[in-house]
Structure 1
Amino acid sequence: PYTIKEGDQVSNVPVIFRLNTAIDQSNTIFINASDVSVKIEFLGEKTARLGAVKKIRGKLIPEIPDQLLQFTINKPDGSDNFIKDVKTDTSGQFSFNLAFDLAGGWFVNANYGGNATYLPVSGSAVYVAMMNVGKAIIVLGGNSQTNPIWDAFRVNAEFVHHTFTTRGLDPDSDIKFFSSEPNQTANADDFATLVNLEEAIGIWAKPQLGSQSPLFLYLISANLDPDFLINDKNILTPDLLDSWLDVV
């Protein structure tokens, strides 16, 4: 029989011996472990918005904690970036942040050097950075109680929201939809108010806009020419809207 020597890589394996239904015995045996194959699996979506910082996640299989991995990042322009010494956590998972500053395919290659027990392995994934399709603010104003065609406006606003989503805008992160009756409006985020619209333009949208990320503003209501009826109590004047857009 093999005798375990100092320096051997061993694992504790519980083994259950069942002689019959009346006798259950358990014992622990030691197995010399070496040359164990490993796989690298990348987790999560493989897409990112251009200019975003995305957390790259993955794991070793089997789940080996406290192991160092090295990464080579091949960018769409052909240049390389290196990320060293990313350590796996207690569940064998790794993660690091990557800034996607170029549109196109990013080739991420992971290398694990192995040790006395586990064999070296490489794994790769391709992440696609897409240009930002922009931000959209939809405002359905008016008063459903006094305007007999408000429901037709609602249908139009909901269709506009649907159109933006089919064009690639994320309804959770790229669209703000305000309605004077949000409980009666599909996908509405909040009430149509002057404060909500001003904050959506100057606080929510402004930091995310640029030459590759336009702002789409869609307002629909029973207008009081030239003013826009936000709700039954407030109007939006062209001058006020212009002052908000000046800061974008």
Structure 2
Amino acid sequence: MKQTTTFPKVAKDMFLVQLYWAFGFLGIMLVIHIVKIITAFIQGNEVDSYYNSVFVAANIFMLVIGLISVYFLPHYAGNGVTRKDYFKGGLLASIGLSVVIPIIAICISVIGQFILKNMANIGLKEPNLNEVVLDIDSNIIGDIVQSVILTPFVDPGSNWILAIGLFSLNIFMYYLVGWFISASFYRYDTITGLGSILLGLISLTLVDVLIRMSLNLPVADRFSSLDLPAVITIPGIFVIIVIIIWIIRVLTKRVSIKM
């Protein structure tokens, strides 16, 4: 008898649960943004757009969601779902979440900018997230800070399709790294888990640099001597992503379930 495929239901369930968490995150960011607007109105200052604020914070949010995602496995395994279906469903859910969050952020941001410009008469700060990287010391710690906080940025006002695509790619990568780290801790010992954190940070740094080179964005001094063409950097980004996905599959394929 052919085994029933259940990964579409897993994908739907995980996506809806994580989307609910995302709504909470986006709601908190909106409240913070409103407080900033009120403060800027009182002080006569400019304020960042909602999109820019979410762009910076979403990386950490998706990393945390990725860390939690492995703990869906015992629930599904306990209900007869195969590890393969859990993996495929989780991967599809992460892709969906990575696409939806930027779309919601840009929609709220457009509405907010209209209100600020036409009703509150509050100016918006020019995004300078790419230039900030040049002010960070060129050392390992600086590179890590850059990769976690200052991911490559494209202003939606200049190219909203590229902006959303880049936003989605950034947070998808953070989700995968979180999933990879949690799966390593779940399957192996603490030492192996700590090693996965290092590998995850290296992966984030490499993807960050390759994206910047692909889009001709500023890179840290450590990598400024490199001048790789897009025919190398773009495939390199996807190779890294595919490798991480493959490792997650290997880690979850035969892992013992901790009920």
- With the shorter chain as reference, the TM-score category is under 0.3
Structure 1 or 2: more helix by fraction: 2
- Which of the pair has the greater relative contact order for Cα pairs under 8 Å at 6+ separation? 2
Compare CA radii of gyration and give the structure with the larger one. Answer: 1
Structure 1 or 2: more strand by fraction: 1
The two structures have a TM-score, normalised by structure 1, of 0.23
